[in-house]
Amino acid sequence: MLERYIKLFTGGTAASKKPGEKPSSAPVPASPTPASLGSAIPLLEPISPATGNELIDTGHFTANNVVARVPEIQTDGPRTNVEKLRQKIIGRQPLLDRSQHIIGYELLLRSKALLTAKEPDAALLRMQDEALIRCLADLHLERLLEDKLAFVAISPDMLRSRLLLNLPSKGMVLMVRHDPARVEDNLLRCSELRGLGYQIALDDFEPKQGLGSFLALASFVRVDVSRFNAIELGKLADRFQDKPVPQLIAKNVETEDDFKACHKMRFHCYEGNYFTRLRPSSPPCVDSNRIRVLELLDMARNQVEVSLLEEGFRHDAVLAYKLLRYINAPVNGLQQQIRSIAHALMILGYKQLYRWLTLLLFTSGTQDARSRALLQNALVRARMTELLGFDRLPPAEQEGLFIVGIFSLLDALLNVPMAEALGQIKLPESVVVALTRREGIYAPFLSLAVACEEADQEAIVQHAATCGLTADEVNIAQVKALIWAEELDR
């Protein structure tokens, strides 16, 4: 459905391919093409006329799967024991293809220190691997893996563990480091796992002799780009030029310069949060289209008279067209076509209009894959922030959770500092302090959602303890948020 939002906003048509599908000529999912545009989407809940000050919510989820409802529970209770959280909360790192479409996530428990260690302790790695596999098996990832890949790094010692078979095979990529002491045994086991439907990735790849057999069965090869200089990295990448498999993954891509360098070297995939960062070498993305959306957002939040909102849409024929096309979509089931902007605004109500404009902000202006990836990431972050605070904030404060989450990437979208980005839209003070200073009632939940995205294990544990959340609660919220965003993308 997310792609349908994009299709609706921009008006194009084309078919898009699911990233989990495998091409007939190779065992690796083909790099997805950029999202295409065409059909309209349904409203998030059935439309009913809004009268007076009645507000229409956009969430159609109920019970424990709501988007905008929380019971009144205080947040000043005892903190969760930090030691019970350690090495139990899953972090994730996004992987994007050459078109900057998110194809999957690495799911991990290992701390940053272990990720960069040259010779990590084998027994500790095995223990962490077992904890990760148990966590993932309990989360039932099948729905997420319908459209995305899950990359899981395991140590060579973990290859023989029967715990691996508790993971779903579809969409699961097992990333294994080369062990020169057990080449033949590990090769045989990887071949067996591939026969069961798992994909294999050769992890922490370095040019060595004797890896030809592994490369023949690997779907991916992952390279830590921070461990090589540009010349070495270029020579390494040349080995995989013009080959559909294995696909070459650049790990630790954290800046736009990193991405540009690896893209020029023809890496197939890029792991990291570079697309959520500011780009100092690029101009701001505050064009006239986004300025107009920001103005309308402010008007919707202040619930100005419908006549004034209508006047705002009349100044932009494209926005007016998109609004009418959105509300007149056949899937919305309206008995009569809406031809008036004023009528459309009355049907939507202020809250639903605000959410629609928020999504439109990410898809207005110059359309590129980066904006689409940013929108998907913002939706996951907003949904997870909301779920984390579900039982811990009073109803009057709950709406801010989603808004804080989605606007936390407004600086990256507009490519300006957050304070400057927020200067163009009026938000509640509690939302502003959470976004600019990570303070206030929303800050712990937003900080925890961001820490999980960045796989910062120490920060994850710290913020989860502050929120009073258990490892299971955080993990479940994260997977629910990912699945929710994927279902919008279908």
Q: From the centroid of its chain, how far is CA 479?
A: 11
Residue 3's pLDDT is 52
Residue 37 CA to residue 414 CA, distance in Å, equals: 22
- Structural domain includes residue 245: yes
Please classify residue 317 by burial: count the beta carbons closer than 10 Å to its beta carbon, then call 0-12 exposed, 13-18 middle and 19+ buried. exposed
- Structural domain includes residue 56: no
Q: Residue 230: is its pLDDT beyond 50?
A: yes
Residue 90's pLDDT is 93
Whichever domain contains 152, its CATH number is 3.20.20.450
State how many domains the chain has. 1
Which pair of tokens denotes residue 334? Answer: 């309206």
Residue 455 CA to residue 80 CA, distance in Å, equals: 20
Contact 213, 163 (CB under 8 A): no
The residue whose two tokens read 């009026």 is 426
- 263 compared with 80, residue with greater pLDDT: 263
Q: Residue 70: is its pLDDT beyond 50?
A: no
Residue 33 has phi, psi (to 5 degrees) of -80, 160
Mean pLDDT across 30-54: 39
Confidence at 241, pLDDT banded by 50, 70, 90: confident
Residue 84's pLDDT is 67
- Structural domain includes residue 473: no
Note down the domain range covering 260: 84-276
The tally of CA atoms less than 13 A away on the side-chain side of residue 456 is 13
Residue 367's pLDDT is 63
- Structural domain includes residue 213: yes
Confidence at 365, pLDDT banded by 50, 70, 90: low
Residue 65's pLDDT is 44
Please classify residue 66 by burial: count the beta carbons closer than 10 Å to its beta carbon, then call 0-12 exposed, 13-18 middle and 19+ buried. middle
Q: Provide CB contacts within 8 A for 20, sequence distance 6+.
A: 29, 145, 146, 147, 148, 149, 170, 171
SS3 state at 247: strand
- 176 compared with 424, residue with greater pLDDT: 176
Mean pLDDT across 214-230: 93
- Structural domain includes residue 123: yes
Tell me which of 139-148, 182-191, 306-315, 411-420 is least confident: 306-315
Confidence at 372, pLDDT banded by 50, 70, 90: confident
Tell me which of 46-50, 147-151, 208-212 is least confident: 46-50
Q: Residue 346: is its pLDDT beyond 70?
A: yes
- Structural domain includes residue 238: yes
User: What does pLDDT average to over the chain?
Assistant: 80
Q: What is the pLDDT of residues 390-441, one digit of tens each?
A: 889 998 888 889 989 999 999 998 899 999 999 888 888 999 999 999 999 9
Mean pLDDT across 108-113: 66
Mean pLDDT across 69-96: 65
Q: What is the pLDDT of residues 268-304, one digit of tens each?
A: 999 999 999 999 888 888 877 888 888 888 888 888 8
Residue 22's pLDDT is 42
Q: Residue 35: is its pLDDT beyond 50?
A: no
- 457 compared with 446, residue with greater pLDDT: 446
Tell me which of 197-211, 230-244, 322-336, 417-431 is least confident: 322-336
- 212 compared with 49, residue with greater pLDDT: 212
Contact 270, 259 (CB under 8 A): yes
Residue 68's pLDDT is 36
Q: Provide CB contacts within 8 A for 482, sequence distance 6+.
A: 92, 105, 144, 148, 380
- Structural domain includes residue 384: no
- Structural domain includes residue 98: yes
Tell me which of 91-105, 295-309, 350-364, 403-417 is least confident: 350-364
Confidence at 172, pLDDT banded by 50, 70, 90: very high
Q: Report the share of the chain in percent with pLDDT over 90.
A: 44
Contact 370, 463 (CB under 8 A): no
